[in-house]
Amino acid sequence: MSQSNKSNKPFSLSRLEDATLGAFALVPSSQTLDHLVRYLSTWSGSEFSIAKFYKHQEIRSSDTPLPQQVIYGLLPIIRWLTSLERNPPPTRRLHTIERLQGWSMLLYYPLEHVYYLLTHSIIPQKLPLPSPFNGSVSKPSGSFIDLDAGVISRLSTRFWGVYVLLQFAHLREDRRLLMLKERTIAKSKAISVLAETEELKNRRDALWNELIVSLGYLPLTIHWSLEQGLFRNEAWVGVFGLIAAIAGWRSGWKATAQPSTPKETPPVPEDPESAPLEPKSTVMDPDIPVGLDAGLDEI
C-alpha cells in the first residue's frame, strides 16, 4: 500500500530539483576531505577577487600551480555541496539558490583549470579525438577539438556571473529572514534581547557588505564574459575590482575579529511590582531594547 502511494506520488519541481541539483546528497561525507580543506584553506574571498583581477589584467598569478588551484577551487565546492544536503538552509528558496551557486562554481573551476593549462602550454590547443570504430581509443580519428583560451575564459566568467546574480537573490532572502527576526525580537521581553539586537545589527552590516561586494563583481563578470568587453576604459576594471576587494577585505577582517565582551545586564524580576525601587536614572525599561529601532526597518 505504501509502495503504491509512493509510486503514485505526483511529480513536482521540488522532487526534480532534489534528484538533479541535490545529487550530492548521494556523495558520502569524508573526514579526510574536510580535514584537507580546513588545513589548506588560507585564502580569503578578497584574495580570490584580486587573483581574478590580476589574471585578466595580464599581471597574472601564473606562479600558482594547478594542484593548488584544484585544492583551493574544486575541493571546497565539493565539500560545500555535500554539506549543503546534510545541513540545508532554513528555507527552500535559500536551498535552491545555494545549490545553483554551488553548481555554477563546479562548472567555473574546471574551465579555469583548462584555461591555465592552455596558457601555460601544458596541453595543446588542438586535441585529437579517438576513433570509436578502429577498435582502439588510443588511435586518433583525424578530427580535433579546438581549445580557444579566450572562449574558455569568457565561458568560465559567465558561470561566475551566474553565481553573482544568484547572490543578489540570496541577499534578498537573507534580508526577508532578518526582518522577520527583528519583528520577533521587537515583541520579546527576554533578558537576551540586547545581545540578539547586537547580533542582528552585525548581520545587517554583513548584508550591506556582501551587497557592495556583489555590486563590484557584477560589472567585472559582464566585462570579462564579452569578447569586446563592457568598458572602453580599463580604468573602470580597476575601480570595480578595488571596490570588491576592499569590501571583501572588510568582511574578512570583521569575521576574524575577537568577539566583544558583552556587558553584564542586571537581572529583571518576573513581577515588575515586586522589584526593589532604584534611582530613576539607573532603571532600564525592559520593554524598549536599546538600539532595536535604530534603522532596522531598512537595509
Going from N- to C-terminal start, the domains of the chain cover 26-128+143-257
Per-residue model confidence (pLDDT) at position 100 = 95
Per-residue model confidence (pLDDT) at position 220 = 94
| Mean pLDDT across 83-91 | 91
Per-residue model confidence (pLDDT) at position 45 = 42
What's the DSSP call for residue 120?
Answer: T
206: pLDDT strictly greater than 80: yes
Distance between first and last Cα of the chain: 51
In the structure, what pLDDT confidence band is assigned to residue 58 with cuts at 50, 70 and 90? very low
User: What pLDDT, in 10s, does the model give residues 214-238?
Assistant: 999 999 999 999 988 899 898 999 9
Please state, in angstroms and rounded to a whole number, the distance separating the CA atoms of residues 93 and 219. Answer: 25
Per-residue model confidence (pLDDT) at position 294 = 37
The angle subtended at Cα 81 by Cα 75 and Cα 87, nearest 5°, is 130
User: What pLDDT, in 10s, does the model give residues 177-193?
Assistant: 999 988 888 777 666 66
Please state, in angstroms and rounded to a whole number, the distance separating the CA atoms of residues 19 and 26. Answer: 10
In the structure, what pLDDT confidence band is assigned to residue 4 with cuts at 50, 70 and 90? very low
Per-residue model confidence (pLDDT) at position 173 = 95
Q: Are 69 and 108 in contact (CB under 8 A)?
A: no
DSSP code string of 18-62: HHHTTGGGGSPP-HHHHHHHHHH----HHHHHHHHHHHHTT---T
- H or E, element range at 94: helix 92-119
**Pick the residue with more confidence: 10 or 278?**
10
50: pLDDT strictly greater than 50: no
49: pLDDT strictly greater than 50: no
Phi, psi of 174 (to 5 degrees): -60, -40
Distances (CA, A) of 252 to 185, 212, 255: 27, 14, 5
Per-residue model confidence (pLDDT) at position 47 = 45
Please state, in angstroms and rounded to a whole number, the distance separating the CA atoms of residues 54 and 52. Answer: 5
HSE of 158, CA atoms in CB hemisphere, 13 A? 10
What's the DSSP call for residue 282?
Answer: G
Beta strand residue intervals within the chain, DSSP E: 126-130, 140-146
Retrieve residue 243's grid coordinates.
Answer: 571596490
User: What pLDDT, in 10s, does the model give residues 129-165?
Assistant: 766 644 555 555 567 788 888 899 999 999 999 999 9
Per-residue model confidence (pLDDT) at position 142 = 64
Per-residue model confidence (pLDDT) at position 125 = 84
Type of residue found at 291: G
Whole-prediction pTM value? Answer: 0.70
Most confident option among 58-62, 84-88, 181-185: 84-88
20: pLDDT strictly greater than 80: yes
**Phi and psi based region of residue 147 (left: phi greater than 0; alpha: psi -120 to 50; beta: remaining):** beta
Question: CB neighbours (10 Å) of residue 163?
Answer: 20
